[in-house]
Homo-oligomer: A and B are copies of this chain.
């Protein structure tokens, strides 16, 4: 039976220390909730930290890789999906996630949020980037939820999942 997948999207090399810390906590909490973690799969930044957090709590981790092999995958990814689609794989990240949490901000993350909004999905934002919050609110106010920290993000995820079912 289909497992619940929570996607954590965020920067790779440009992630801040706080993004990485938050991502690790998110991954851990997602695993503790019994959900599958999905990320962009690479061995950097938010993708890597969230996957490691999930593994620290014995979770299951899926990585949707942009590349044509697994050489750049995070060691903490269990299921490596090799797409060879470059950034077009961002759309798969979004479509495959029952819940989407954007941790931090960057160009790839912004694309993922926009693609999620495009198909009427809700997105939980966890960052200190005011312009991003103002912009995505202006695009699709009903679909944007703001979390102040990882625990609040997971509470919002729980509420959204309750409404999905």
Contacts and interface: CB of A to CB of B under 8 A. Distances in A.
A62 interface: yes
21 contacts: A1-B78, A2-B70, A2-B73, A3-B79, A62-B79, A68-B119, A80-B96, A81-B81, A82-B95, A83-B96, A84-B86, A86-B91, A87-B118, A88-B91, A90-B115, A105-B139, A107-B115, A107-B117, A107-B118, A111-B111, A131-B137
Interface residues of A, number: 52
Copies of this protein in the assembly total 4
Interface in A70-125: 70, 73, 75-92, 95-96, 105-108, 110-111, 114-115, 117-119
A86 B85 contact: yes
A16 interface: no
A95 B83 contact: yes
A138 B131 CA distance: 7
